[in-house]
Amino acid sequence: MSLSKRVSASVSRAASAHVEDRIWSVVKYAVLSRVISLALGAVSNAFVEDYDSSLSVFLPSVDEAKASVAFLSLERLARALAQIVVRWDAFYFVHIADAGYIYEQEHAFFPLLPLLMRALTSTVLSPLVSAIGRQLALVVAGVLVSNTAFVLAAVTLYRLGCRSLSNEKLAYVSALMFVVAPSNMFMSAVYTESLFAWLAFSALLLVSYEQYMLAALCLGASTLCRSNGITYAGFFVWNLLVRQEAWAEFAGDRGMRRWWAKIGTLLSRVLYSLILVALSSLGFVAFEIFGRRKLCEIPAGASEPERRLYCSDSLSTVYGFVQSKYWDVGFLRYYTLQQAPNFLLAAPMIVLSVAGLWVYAAHDRTRFVSLGWVQRTPAAAASTGYFDRRLLPHMYLWAVLLFVATTSMHVQVITRFFSGLPVVFWFAGHAVAAASLDPNRRWVQWAVVGYFVGYGLVGAVLFSNFFPPA
């Protein structure tokens, strides 16, 4: 082997070892953050009276006379865990996992997490059922799924950052920002945030390797978890039909035969994109079909109930109807004086998002508005890190979801809504890293880190005691 090849191999091994060390570092901090969050929730719950005592009604009490000391201690430990993680929407997930979809409003909550909870309880956690009861065993299963998915999501975000940013240090800092995300307690509770983030990050990582079919299956699973997973299918359309690189082979030869070949290639790409988008939507579509059959089909001999719009209108969805009827979700419906405090809670994430989009677009406005087809300077094309041109589709998705979050949702959930959006953490990491190099901008570093950590820790205390925001 030549000297140059030996040096190259040595450098490659060193780089791989460095990345592996970084991954284990991310794992360590992710696990530590979950331990701290749950511990903080437990301590605060011990000293602060719950805003709502629904859990004591929801979970059946154990018969202490019949339970052994060991089982009783285990049950009390599981109940203490439930006391900090079964809050707000978590009640729905536990009930769905236990009894299935009984009430119409439960169709606002997607089935992947409950299915995994039920599967774990029926297999590896089955001994717990006889010890602490089925519902508490389901709670333990939900916590295991959420926290395991959180650690996997942190690692996947780091790997995705290494691919997309061409800057390993920024990828690492961004993964650490995810570890201290403002959505903190929601990532450990019986909620879908961590599971969705892992599936979404995994899909985007597969897209970066052009493994589109596997990415579509990941997104299909994510839409069985949260509806906004469908929007990530836009990355297939971007890669195959929109970005400049996709049209490189269409330049050059203009012969008639060559043109027919180009048209054939284009049509095949359009068809492939449609297939990938359809696969990505599979989870949502399956859940919608299930909902219609569950709620619209009338058993023989039963009286016909009030017919819902989604039973007769193919363009209406069960999910959309339920969100509108039970949670008053709709365009500008949240713009009332009563909701002003919730807009204040969402303001830091909104400001962070606007700043992230503005800073990226200002780096090369021509590139931003031309979908990357025209660049202002050659230097812009060579930019790496947060200004890498490969982040363009991420920026457009961020802008779309920011518009949806601020106009058509309960705006205070924006912190957890954006927990599955890599670019949020890339910008946070960029802001922190850039400010650390400039003494005059250290306040930016403190502001971003302070917001992430402070909001997350305060949120853990509030959430574990059933206080808003949820």
- pLDDT beyond 50 at 7: no
**109 within 8 A of 51, measured Cβ to Cβ:** no
- Give the contacts of 356 (CB within 8 A, at least 6 positions apart): 398, 423, 424, 427
Residue reference for tokens 């997930």: 93
**Widest distance between CA atoms in the chain:** 88
- Angle at 111 (CA atoms; ends 106, 113), nearest 5 degrees: 115
Q: Tell me how far apart the alpha carbons of residues 251 and 241 are, in angstroms, rounded to a whole number.
A: 14
- pLDDT beyond 60 at 227: yes
Residue 385 carries which side chain, given as an amino acid letter?
G
Residue reference for tokens 């880190």: 449
**pLDDT reported for residue 280:** 97
**pLDDT reported for residue 381:** 47
| Residues above pLDDT 70, as percent of the chain | 86
Nearest to 133 by CA among 189, 62, 194: 62
Q: Tell me how far apart the alpha carbons of residues 313 and 145 are, in angstroms, rounded to a whole number.
A: 36
- Give the contacts of 400 (CB within 8 A, at least 6 positions apart): 231
Q: Token digits for 287?
A: 């859940």
pLDDT (tens digit per residue) in 290-332:
999 999 887 655 455 577 888 888 889 999 999 999 999 999 9
**pLDDT reported for residue 60:** 64
CA torsion, ordered 198, 203, 208, 213, to nearest 10 deg: 160
- pLDDT beyond 50 at 39: yes
- Give the contacts of 2 (CB within 8 A, at least 6 positions apart): none
**pLDDT reported for residue 6:** 53
CA torsion, ordered 262, 263, 265, 271, to nearest 10 deg: 160
pLDDT (tens digit per residue) in 90-114:
999 999 999 999 999 999 999 999 9
**72 within 8 A of 62, measured Cβ to Cβ:** yes
Q: Tell me how far apart the alpha carbons of residues 114 and 94 are, in angstroms, rounded to a whole number.
A: 7
- pLDDT beyond 90 at 259: no
The segment with the largest mean pLDDT, out of 16-25, 338-347, 377-386, is: 338-347
Nearest to 34 by CA among 143, 138, 174: 143
Average pLDDT of the residues of the chain: 88
Length of the chain: 470
- pLDDT beyond 90 at 23: yes
pLDDT (tens digit per residue) in 323-335:
999 999 999 999 9
Q: Tell me how far apart the alpha carbons of residues 411 and 470 are, in angstroms, rounded to a whole number.
A: 11
Q: Determine the distance from the C-alpha atom of residue 144 to the mean position of all C-alpha atoms in its chain, rounded to a whole number.
A: 17
**402 within 8 A of 349, measured Cβ to Cβ:** no
